[in-house]
Structure 1
Amino acid sequence: MKKTQVAIIGAGPAGLLLGQLLHKAGIDNIIVERQSGEYVLGRIRAGVLEQVTMDLLKQAGVDARAHAEGLPHHGIELLFKGARHRIDLHGLSGGKQVTVYGQTEVTRDLMEARKAEGRETIYEARDVSLHDFDSDRPRVRYVKDGATHEIECDFIAGCDGYHGVSRASVPQQALHTYEKVYPFGWLGVLADVPPVSHELIYANTTRGFALCSMRSTTRSRYYVQVPLEEKVENWSDEAFWNELRLRLDPEAREHLVTGPSLEKSIAPLRSFVAEPMRFGRLMLAGDAAHIVPPTGAKGLNLAAADVGYLARALEIFYGEKSSSALDRYSDLCLRRVWKAERFSWWFTSLMHRFPETGEFGQKIQEAELDYLVHSHAASTSLAENYVGLPVEDF
């Protein structure tokens, strides 16, 4: 039997970041992941990092490449009625910014740091199960190479995503869940072409939403809204680029560079929250506890904030022999989560075409966007939420 202080379920960016923060605080941990490291690195995800996330990467000692290769963004552009309007994130938020740096790269940096420091990560762990987290001696059981293994620990951190075992291990009567499923998805294409603009473009059009994003100065990520039942195999590269053009303004269309897709997929949009986020000595973090639609770029940033809170709470527990911070973990996280859920719901509702609202709904959206870009107060609210709200302390 292995023994550790904290068993972390999931080797995505949330679990890896928590492991690194705990290691820096002198707290022993083991990460258990059901997939291979190559599979984890192969997942294509978003890449807009709030300052809070950048600060946590620095605290974890893995921010060097993000600072060297990440693209600082001081604004975003909102496109509606055929014209673009810039929101000055930096100026409206008191000097804050976001950094475009792919989640895959964040994961790679964390993986390499963990490997260099000799910390244990168990990949391809099958039949993972959590036991006795309502006691002071939780256990994690898994199968590896045909043999059953067990980890005895003080705490379990469930960082294994929406479909993971952690939330599923909680008795159903102990959970209260909230969910909204949107009637559309994002068809996304990743391509080695320069971005159409040096800042992200969010487009509201009568044909539906579009987003022009990027991973670097030579790799772009584009999205168009499609019906929920749409199939990715129905979309050739040519069909995607043609549809994207129809949702852009004339200047963007002129500057759009197309190329073969490196990856193409459809992501459904949903909002989901599970309360509370602590069950005895099991703490949920990231997508295991909440999902936001990607419109507000909050998914990874919320997960990072969760594990930042959790790492600090565990540091207080071991350093001060006090459970006071752990007792506040769920409430502090959920305050931030629900504010991000609200912003993501609002921004999604503002930018997408909803079939049931028709032309009236489109006119209302355009009126709100017109107010938003010409109101200092409304623009400030958007900027403050987009760059990330402050993190409360214990």
Structure 2
Amino acid sequence: MDTLAQLKAGQLAGATRLDLSCGLSEFPREIFDLADSLEILNLSGNALSSLPDDLHRLRHLRVLFCSDNAFTEVPECLGQCPQLSMVAFKANRIEKVPGASLPPLLRWLILTDNQISQLPTELGERARLQKLMLAGNRLEQLPESLANCHNLELIRIASNRLTHLPGWLLALPRLTWLAYAGNPVEMAVALASNDATPNIPWSQLALEQVLGEGASGIIRQATWTPPNRPPQAVAVKMYKGSITSDGSPLHEMQACIAAGQHSNLIKVEGRVTDHPDNQAALVMQLIDPRYRNLAALPSLASCTRDVYAPTTRLSADAALRIARGIASAAAHMHHQGITHGDLYGHNIMCNEAGDCLLGDFGAASFHAIAESLETRALQRIEVRAFGVLLGELLERVDSSLDEAKRQQLETLRERCCQPDVLARPRFGEIEGLLHAL
């Protein structure tokens, strides 16, 4: 983190990135001294409510973070920034998004956790728009102009007030990751109660080290001592109550339980009860330490694509095992009326043999189990995510994959990613094809 004193003393000359979080209530004019170099500006965690009208003087600015501030509207000056493509105003008090505030090269827009009830028609005129984060607002509808955004791949509209999913949204040719939990359209779906999930009293758990922490909660290793049974090592996920970029952590917990048992899903042992602070938590299987995340989260540059280590290489058997396992898990979830919404390499844990587990239900949503055009479209959107994953596996498989199988898998990838949403194969068919290989 940079300091205001460094900026004012001219010690940051030539910087391409500036991070300032120091209770700012006004935009420091000294930032313009970096106009010849500054590309990424992070002003999150301050008390700002406006930006200068001449912000476009930062002519190389590509990325702007202004989350956790006091803005009530997205500043119109952003629309004059010639290179600005990524804009983040999460967790402000924004009610208004002027059409003029949208920069011409907009690719990635984060407006999560605000008070927005309407979006401008101009949003659909940003042809490069690829990633749109709108969870935790007051939207009752989306602008129909978004039907023109044929590059839109990821959209988060969870925890709003949408009563239906528009047909044009489900027909977008490149839409791949969709989260809409916590809207009236999703809550109208009748869910079967999962009485088989046991309750586990807090007193039976002894928490140990932290295994990981994400937007929706903290995962800790623990020892569970059930009555009349030997102690066992487990993982406990403690859910936070705030809105994340995907939606509500409590919706994530509900989906995790409803998904049920599958060999390629992380097993839920039970719900935690009697927590002293009434915190929601799940007890889950402890994953073998030999399992590793297949990929890392997307970067600012990759936007919607995972980042793989340059050294990642897979045998043909391992790649096929991963593909089969994830297709099987997705087919199982769809049968339960759940879309994962975030089917990505970074949410897959696997070992060298290709044994794999699909995790992180933060973007999961419920849909009707009965066959309909909407259900088919929602499921086929997720099929495209599998197609992207299959392509990433093929890029990293070693020479043990023979050319005939590679061509069959490439053909399957193309079918999964074709622009006609309803023409994509269902996961049951994909699973069968992969087993045949």
Report the TM-score, using the length of structure 1 for normalisation.
0.27
Name the structure where strand makes up a greater proportion of residues.
Answer: 1
Higher normalized helix content (fraction of residues) = 1
Greater relative contact order (CA < 8 Å, ≥ 6 in sequence): 1
Larger radius of gyration: 2
